[in-house]
């Protein structure tokens, strides 16, 4: 995935959004989980935030709510990251397609 920003706190907001997207179809493909880990590592997300990511991937922690106001500032990069995640498991489910449309509207 492309680096959405050099700012680790912004990158974690993207990760939070990507977690919501990955779980949209109520299942998490291994490819999606790995794509999320890779994005977090490449974006400089802190160890503590990566631990939260792992707990969410494992389903042991509730998904954190992303700050859409902050994400709107770089909506093109954010939507690009979302699309890349959706493609990571080589299929885009109907629920994921609907979520992508809703995100595109929410980030306007």
Q: How far apart are CA 4 and CA 82, in angstroms?
A: 11
**Domain extent at residue 55:** 8-103
pLDDT at 55: 96
- Residue 21 placed within a domain: yes
- Residue 2 placed within a domain: no
Instruction: Return the closest-CA partner of residue 71 out of 17, 6, 24.
Output: 17
Q: How many domains, the chain?
A: 1
For the chain, residues with pLDDT lower than 70 are: 1-6, 91-92
pLDDT at 77: 92
pLDDT for 66-82, tens place per residue? 999 999 999 999 999 98
pLDDT at 76: 93
- Residue 99 placed within a domain: yes
- Residue 95 placed within a domain: yes
């Amino acid at each position: 995935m492309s680096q959405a920003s050099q700012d680790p706190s912004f990158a974690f907001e993207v990760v939070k959004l990507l977690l919501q997207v990955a779980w949209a179809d109520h299942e998490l493909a291994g490819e999606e989980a790995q794509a999320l880990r890779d994005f977090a590592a490449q974006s400089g997300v802190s160890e503590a935030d990566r631990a939260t990511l792992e707990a969410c991937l494992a389903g042991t922690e509730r998904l954190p709510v992303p700050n859409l106001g902050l994400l709107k500032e770089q909506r093109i990069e954010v939507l690009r990251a979302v699309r890349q995640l959706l493609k990571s498991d080589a299929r885009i489910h109907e629920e994921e397609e609907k979520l992508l449309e809703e995100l595109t509207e929410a980030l306007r």
